[in-house]
Structure 1
Amino acid sequence: MTPEGLRARVADAYDRLGLPSWPPPRAEGDEPRDEEYSRVSDLHKYRVVHGRARAWTAVLGVLPGVVVEDLGPTTSERRRYARGVRIVSPVPGTLPLVLLEQDAGHTEHGETTDALQIAVRSPDHRIGYGVPDCGCDACDWGSAGLLDEIDDDILHVVAGPFVLLEGTDWTAAWHPDGGSMEGGARQPWSFEAAMRACRVLADGGDPRLPRSCTALVGRSWLDATP
């Protein structure tokens, strides 16, 4: 199975769910209006990200030896998710994939939309801020971009190699096509230095890491998957 083959299977499984789609609400180059930044027109429109996660779960779950574990309601770093799954590959050296669903609703901190958080190994090892990372109207770029983002993030883990570095208040993620770095003011090194260390780790090396930094390294799920 190739990454392209997995993506095609997921797209087919997702299409059968009959979920809605919508185009970008603004023409390319148009800036959002000020009032759109504080407005959430539809708390539930982003349920499509849950559908995409379930399509991935269904497709990965039938690969030889893959195990899907139902996590139920899950709390991680003061975030609560309505449900989640942990998908484990039998290939040695791979990182389990964790998909966590947040339901739309009203909280003491304001409105929350439906959202998906992708993680590895456990809910505590999150990749990015979630999809969508913001549900306001100003940050809406259409449904297709959301689905592509989910596919890309999952394939980075599944196709491998994938490296996640975690510091006190920062994270860095690397895959062969690129990487990202997020966090606070206490980042101990530059983006370039973090990516160099990730490449060494992916190649089986042992680079010097900053204090209080942990590394999660995963090989491809597809190395031994028909």
Structure 2
Amino acid sequence: MDVQRLRQAVEEEFAATGAATPPWRDPHPDGAAPLDEEYSRCLNPGKYRILSTRTAAWARALNRLGLAAVEEVENHLAAWRETPVEPLDTTTKLRPARADAVPLVLGTRRLDGVPGTIVTLGAGEPAVELTTLPDCGCDACDSGSEALLEELDEYVLAVVTGDLVHVTRGPGTLVATGSGWSASDWPETEPIETALAKARDGHSPHHVVQGPTWL
């Protein structure tokens, strides 16, 4: 199994799961400034359901290819290392067929009362949070669906390929994927590249989530 075949399978499944959730263009092309009234409002929260239909496509593709089993989790809190900021409506765990690989966890909740419009991606057991999309659902922050789906795919693929490294140090987090890294509240006293190198070679003193490829 290679990444190209996996991506093809995801697109095949997305043709079905995403049939009722069309993409949309960036409403602020060429760096256009948002209107003042676009802040703190979302006229069409339902469009963000494209995120949960995309995660459904990933789940179906990984299951169809024999790379993971899909488990619906009833106890949302038990699935996560830290309690989500907002209560989740659904939590789905993709348990890789390879026993030593890291599970992928997918959570959904509501934007303005519409189910399946906010997606939280996690990894591990219990899972650490990798990202929540959209980061902000207001119309001013909307940059179109393409950027959102690319970011979602990046994190899912990082878990599946084994490129993911997640490090927790107190309130600080460091997340590396195959294309780069992001940090939140990470102390300046510990260089990020040093922290990642120690995590990858198994010598980090912090909580680390990483594992081999599912492929």
| Alignment TM class, shorter chain as reference | 0.7 to 0.9
Matched residue, 1:52 = 54
- The TM-score, its normalising length taken from structure 1, stands at 0.82
Matched residue, 2:121 = 118
Measured in 1, the distance between the counterparts of 2:125 and 2:110 equals 19
Matched residue, 2:80 = none
Measured in 2, the distance between the counterparts of 1:123 and 1:139 equals 31
Give 1:69-84 correspondences, 5 Å limit.
69-72=71-74, 74-75=76-77, 76-84=83-91
Give 1:11-26 correspondences, 5 Å limit.
11-17=11-17, 18=19, 19-26=21-28
1:206 matches 2:199 = no
Contact 1:73/1:80 (8 A) holds in 2: no
1:181 matches 2:183 = yes
Q: 2:96 aligns with which of 71, 76, 89?
A: 89
CA separation of 1:65/1:131 partners in 2, compared to 1, >3 Å: closer, same or farther? closer
Aligned-residue Cα RMSD (Å) equals 2.3
Secondary structure at 1:198 match in 2: helix
CA separation of 1:215/1:24 partners in 2, compared to 1, >3 Å: closer, same or farther? same
- The one-letter code of the counterpart of 1:206 is H
- The one-letter code of the counterpart of 1:27 is P
CA distances 1:5-48 after superposition (whole Å, capped 9, x unpaired): 21221122112231212111122121112221121111221011
Following superposition, the deviation at residue 170 of structure 1 comes to 1.6
- The TM-score, its normalising length taken from structure 2, stands at 0.86
CA separation of 1:8/1:65 partners in 2, compared to 1, >3 Å: closer, same or farther? closer
Q: 1:135 aligns with which of 130, 134, 137?
A: 137
Query: Structure 2: 5+ residue runs without aligned partners?
Result: 78-82
Secondary structure at 1:218 match in 2: coil
Query: Structure 1: 5+ residue runs without aligned partners?
Result: none
Measured in 2, the distance between the counterparts of 1:198 and 1:9 equals 31
Secondary structure at 1:165 match in 2: strand
Identity rate, percent: 28
- The one-letter code of the counterpart of 1:114 is T
Measured in 2, the distance between the counterparts of 1:205 and 1:104 equals 39
Contact 1:95/1:219 (8 A) holds in 2: yes
Q: 2:112 aligns with which of 81, 105, 123?
A: 105
| Equivalences, count | 208
Following superposition, the deviation at residue 93 of structure 1 comes to 3.1
Q: 1:155 aligns with which of 136, 154, 157?
A: 157
Following superposition, the deviation at residue 74 of structure 1 comes to 2.1
